[in-house]
Chain A
């Protein structure tokens, strides 16, 4: 497989920077600032921004490969980078006004970090509903949102926030608003001491922002969500989980190879398990890359990306990949045995396993399967 330049840059940053700090980022649940600075130095925050706006003009396929590389060594660094790219993708497709175009240019020029506030306290995890609303004031709008989590919010230069279009709008009549830091106040309401993805610093905040109406994206959030935010989220997340799985397989393989060298001529006991694990990894890689390519092909086809069949495909990718990654890391642990279970071993899989369990929870698989169960009541054909 040919590696793009972007993936190669991602690999170098992953191996030389992210890997060196990953354990400490995890232990202290601190922001992976070294990785993000290294990505900024390579202009990677503007990877998806078209070159005429100062970005690298890369495809989501290339960005996905770079995320996989980061995910092999530091899932928290990879997640911060991935979530930023989701916001950029929404702005690139749905931010057409002069302000939003110039904001994208700023993201590329100044390597701004973008965060997201889509969930809300009292809504129960459904991102397609808001309680807070864009409130018109004399020179623009005011927005106040109780966000249960804003990943790396305190390190972000801007937060993209969902809200009802106006105080009179229905709960699902939402818009997406760019709230850059000077006019944004985040007051911490809860901490982030979790099992995995500890470096994403996904604290809870009361978000208060003001700004001119031009900061609101042009398309309704329903369209942004279906056409871009949801598919891109599932694509970058699954690319990341593929990285976690690859990292675990690499450790299991080196472990078996070391065993084999010790007793040349005798098949190590875990060798067969490695072969099984490898086939699962290939299954995961093919589904992640296949659907990523499919999305890149149809991304501008509005009829396709708002169809039920497409929603089912993207939902299924998320559910199957998040299940497979836990299985793969667990199997790698069985192969490495106590060496995988230890913290103080080069084969340690503890962090990978803790991170992997997060996959099924970030947008809970039960919610997605319930959604798919309903969509399948009417889906036809393929």
Chain B
């Protein structure tokens, strides 16, 4: 799951650094993830994992690191990304 999250961040996060250079716990906002780009990341995660983030998860802390995103996805029951 971590790999898919990193792929979404690489494609939609528009960060000035290489996502692979960041640890799972690194603060993505400090690494340059803007609130604008984070919305695109949310949309791409919803598409890739076929989930919908509920209101209570739509806050900054949910997307602050690769590990935080994984926790959220697991809580939502996501498993492998949907192919195609």
A379–B30 CB distance below 8 A: no
A366 to chain B, nearest CB (A): 15
A378–B53 CB distance below 8 A: yes
A173–B55 CB distance below 8 A: no
Known: A374-B39, A375-B39, A378-B42. A170 touches B15 (CB 8 A): yes
Q: Report the Cα distance A220→B32, complex, angstroms.
A: 13
**Which A298-333 residues have C-beta < 8 A from chain B?**
303, 306-309
Contacts of A309 on B, CB cut-off 8 Å?
Answer: 55, 58
B34–A128 CB distance below 8 A: yes
**Which A326-367 residues have C-beta < 8 A from chain B?**
none
Most A C-beta atoms less than 10 A away, residue of B32, B42, B46: B32
Q: Report the count of interface residues on A (CB-CB < 8 A).
A: 26
Name which residue of chain A comes closest to B31, CB basis: A170
A308–B58 CB distance below 8 A: yes
Q: Report the Cα distance A226→B34, complex, angstroms.
A: 13
Contacts of B55 on A, CB cut-off 8 Å?
Answer: 307-309, 379-382
Q: Report the count of interface residues on B (CB-CB < 8 A).
A: 24
**Which B31-48 residues have C-beta < 8 A from chain A?**
31-36, 39, 42-43, 46
Most B C-beta atoms less than 10 A away, residue of A128, A170, A220, A377: A170
A173–B32 CB distance below 8 A: yes
Q: Report the Cα distance A172→B56, complex, angstroms.
A: 24
Contacts of A308 on B, CB cut-off 8 Å?
Answer: 55, 58-59
Contacts of B53 on A, CB cut-off 8 Å?
Answer: 378, 380
Cβ of A189 under 8 Å from chain B? no
Cβ of A169 under 8 Å from chain B? yes
B32–A170 CB distance below 8 A: yes
Q: Name B's A-contacting residues (CB within 8 A).
A: 15-17, 29-36, 39, 42-43, 46, 52-56, 58-61
23 A–B contact pairs at CB < 8 A? A129-B34, A165-B30, A170-B16, A170-B17, A171-B32, A172-B34, A173-B29, A220-B29, A220-B30, A222-B35, A223-B60, A306-B60, A306-B61, A307-B55, A308-B55, A309-B58, A374-B39, A377-B43, A379-B58, A380-B53, A380-B54, A380-B58, A381-B54
Q: Name A's B-contacting residues (CB within 8 A).
A: 128-129, 165, 169-173, 220, 222-223, 226, 303, 306-309, 371, 374-375, 377-382
